[in-house]
Structure 1
């Protein structure tokens, strides 16, 4: 990926598509993403989660013929994608139709490429007293804290390439592209975050950095499709 110069933490009113270098000067201001919406601590919980996931997958498989109006409005599911709709937990998104469901620790739902496990999408959420993503602070600061303090490990270098905000049906979303690089490995991803239903939702869809140019546009569709539903 092309390199760019780091920017200052004194955020400008508009942020150019430049790299944001990792820093330890900002203290995290919100909780980690380790809370799972469907914990698997006992065999009973595992069975309940398995049954629930099977039901949700059935909904996703039928999504091309039945999707709530609040999910896609007048739009149709794009070709070569399926819709995953979780009306119980209040969110939905598209994923490539040839991806398969899998368990990703600490996440409520996840799908991955049939052959490339690192090419995947997953969704998690945690409780919050906030009602809108704007309540966390300016978009640039919120995303910077997420990538550098929540998504990356101490041994990784975090770089943010782009940030976007959108409003759908009165609900606000931040979507951003970022890269995590360590000595022997690099992964690039999109993330979309939103707040609704007393929950802080996070969708992450990414791939190995070497394949990013090939799949970037495909994965951006997934990131932009994420919506929170009223429950």
Structure 2
């Protein structure tokens, strides 16, 4: 009987979501209204829901039936930086990390490899008029990938990185501005015995496999980049919601 109840509850915790939007290769990406907070819950992956259920079941078996009707949900919260001129929405349970080097940085409290940040070019060294100053989206994608590889360069022996640009696209948002979106994949491999003399003794293992999504926009003569990092297996589960976050990015005029 207990196993039947647990199966029923686990099935009820499986998140339902609408079908994902058009593929990232499309040049038309859906955007969200800027000032209205999203009313759609940020979907909770099944593995997180199962963990929450099991902890409740162990601590309080009496609450078994109640847990089935208490699926956690996380909405989107809007972050607005009127001083620097940008805004975006992010999962409201993500936490801000100070001193991360970016203008703003949030990360998932459960999946530590999942985070979002904003980078802004220096106003004294950049005179961008439009995101098209970067060239077509394909050229921008190459530059974004090169920047990521530079940042993640490793000096460790036996480390190898594999990377590719998955998609590039452009869209005109509801603010009338053009934005580029770039998606890349980077895998990191490391030898289990990097000091071994014989090649057959140096077996490469996968350290991490991540998706990097960037949204690029220009305003105030500066280049703005919203960056989202997520493990590939997590991206598969949360793709629809993460694209909502990316589509919410806007740049705005700074009043001097």
- In the superposition, the TM-score normalised over structure 2's length comes to 0.59
- Counterpart position of 1:135: 133
CA gap 1:89/1:102 in 2 versus in 1, 3 angstroms: same
Alpha-carbon offset, residue 118 of structure 1: 1.0
**Pairing partner for 1:188 from 211, 214, 225:** 211
- Counterpart position of 2:147: 150
The number of residue pairs the alignment matches comes to 162
Alpha-carbon offset, residue 166 of structure 1: 1.0
* 2:82 corresponds to 1:87: yes
CA gap 1:78/1:140 in 2 versus in 1, 3 angstroms: farther
- Counterpart position of 1:230: 253
Unpaired segments of 5 or more residues in structure 1? Answer: 1-15, 18-70
- Counterpart position of 1:167: 172
* 2:77 corresponds to 1:77: no
- Counterpart position of 2:47: none
Matching of residues 1-231 of structure 1 within 5 Å: 17=25, 72=33, 75-79=36-40, 80-103=75-98, 105-127=100-122, 128-147=126-145, 149-152=146-149, 153-154=152-153, 155-168=160-173, 169-183=175-189, 184-231=207-254
**Distance in structure 2 (CA, Å) of the matches to 1:163 and 1:90:** 24
- In the superposition, the TM-score normalised over structure 1's length comes to 0.64
Alpha-carbon offset, residue 93 of structure 1: 0.2
Alpha-carbon offset, residue 176 of structure 1: 2.1
Question: In the alignment, is the contact (CA less than 8 A) between 2:34 and 2:250 conserved in 1?
Answer: no
CA gap 1:104/1:74 in 2 versus in 1, 3 angstroms: closer
CA gap 1:177/1:104 in 2 versus in 1, 3 angstroms: farther
Instruction: From the CA coordinates, give the structure whose radius of gyration is larger.
Output: 2
Alpha-carbon offset, residue 146 of structure 1: 1.4
**Distance in structure 1 (CA, Å) of the matches to 2:103 and 2:128:** 20
Question: In the alignment, is the contact (CA less than 8 A) between 2:185 and 2:210 conserved in 1?
Answer: yes
